[in-house]
Chains A and B, each alone.
Chain A
Amino acid sequence: MDDFKSSDERLSAWMRAASRGDQEAYRNFLSALLPVLRQTALRSLSRAGASVADSEDVVQEIMLAIHLRRHTWDESTTIMPWVYGIARHKMIDVLRRRGRRFEVPLDGFEEIVEAPAAAEALSERDIIRFLGRLGNGQRKVVLAVSVEGLSIRDAAKRLGITEGAARVTLHRGLKTLARIYGSER
């Protein structure tokens, strides 16, 4: 319990710094959140008896929601209840989209499926499935920043656009991506 509390405090501190534009803190925050979200997604999906094959998609959808709605977190509170609120909402959304046909509780299944490393490899094909549905401009910027790991400035230089335009395009691309995740499956 103390462990959870201290990690909640640490995550909250990172997110407060991120709100003021600290990218390093934000990367720490998201990276630390990743295993937590994977576990949450796997557990909820398997508990509902749904397929866990694309649980990494769900994790990404939750991350996008956290990113695009981070202004709704009240900084005077710790962040994990807020994160779980977002995750819970998205899980319900995902299960609703898939229909309730598979909602057979499978007790004890969690132990078998909790192999998060495999999940990431599985979702590699999604580069085509999801990014392919972005417009040309948005896809180029998102790819340059995510897959090639360029900074906004370098990505802008490479694509021959201004830094401001690259910034706006990236943000729109992420918003579109969130919408695509929300409508797929």
Chain B
Amino acid sequence: MQTHRLIEALVADLQPLRQRLPGQILMRLGWAALAAALAFYGLYGFRDDGLASLGDPRFVVKISLLLTLVGALWPLMRRAAGPIKMTPTDFKPLAWVGLFWLTMMGLEVALVPQTAWYPMMVGENGLFCLAAIPLIGMPLLATIIVTFRGAAPAVASVSGAVAGFFCAAIASVLYAVHCPDDSPFFLVVWYGAATMILMAMGALSGRWVLRW
């Protein structure tokens, strides 16, 4: 086919864009997160202290640690879906979040007696957390991978890993509302391990599925 003829076909196929990529991601992710949340809370419920937990500064700190992570990962997600390779600058917001996490861990070191560090890190729910976050995150990740397939990720495995990270952060927020362990130590160890699982799943599925 001659190229100017192809151009005519493309022009004829032009439709106003109803939805751009960020909107598409947010909408689909919203539905997936809603379904995952309903299923998880339906099965396991919220924390025993329910709404009262909002008055607990340790709970509030935990949630804000996770929410800032979600916020910092969002621009990265937008980049991961596009054809332009990511640069170290794109990861800068993540460094700020890292600093925030380190500060809160420092605070924990200062406020909590040393003998309590280890029990806090091990927590009560470690293994459950390790299973729950990937399970909540998986439908989200599947949604993102499908959406990325129609997008143009520059490096499939990296984009998949970023998607896994982002889904893990959202799943963590959902899970954190259920989980009684509030120590940043616990977050780093167990949430961190769960995040690794989702990132690996994202990177692997990205490698296989995200070629375009």
Contacts and interface: CB of A to CB of B under 8 A. Distances in A.
Interface of A: 18-21, 23, 26-27, 30-31, 34, 56, 59-60, 63-65, 67-75, 81-82, 85-86, 88-89, 93, 120, 123-124, 126-127, 130-131, 142, 145-147, 149, 151-152, 155, 167, 170-171, 173-174, 182
A26 B152 CA distance: 20
Chief secondary structure at chain B's binding surface: loop
Given A60-B6, A71-B24, A131-B1, A85 B17 contact: no
A127 B1 contact: yes
A85 B84 contact: yes
A89 B15 contact: no
A56 B3 contact: yes
Chief secondary structure at chain A's binding surface: helix
A130 B1 CA distance: 8
Interface of B: 1-17, 19-21, 24, 78, 81-85, 150-152, 154, 211-212
B83 A124 contact: no
A170 B3 contact: no
Contacts of A74: 78, 82
B140 to A, nearest CB: 20
A118 to B, nearest CB: 13
A131 B5 CA distance: 12
B1 A123 contact: yes
B154 to A, nearest CB: 6
A171 B83 contact: no
Given A19-B16, A170-B12, 7 more contacts: A30-B10, A65-B152, A71-B21, A73-B82, A126-B1, A145-B13, A167-B13
Contacts of A167: 13, 15
A63 B8 contact: no
Contacts of A131: 1
Contact of B83 (A60, A64, A85, A142): A85
Contacts of A30: 7, 10-11
B7 A34 contact: yes
Nearest to B211: A93
Nearest to B17: A19
B107 to A, nearest CB: 37
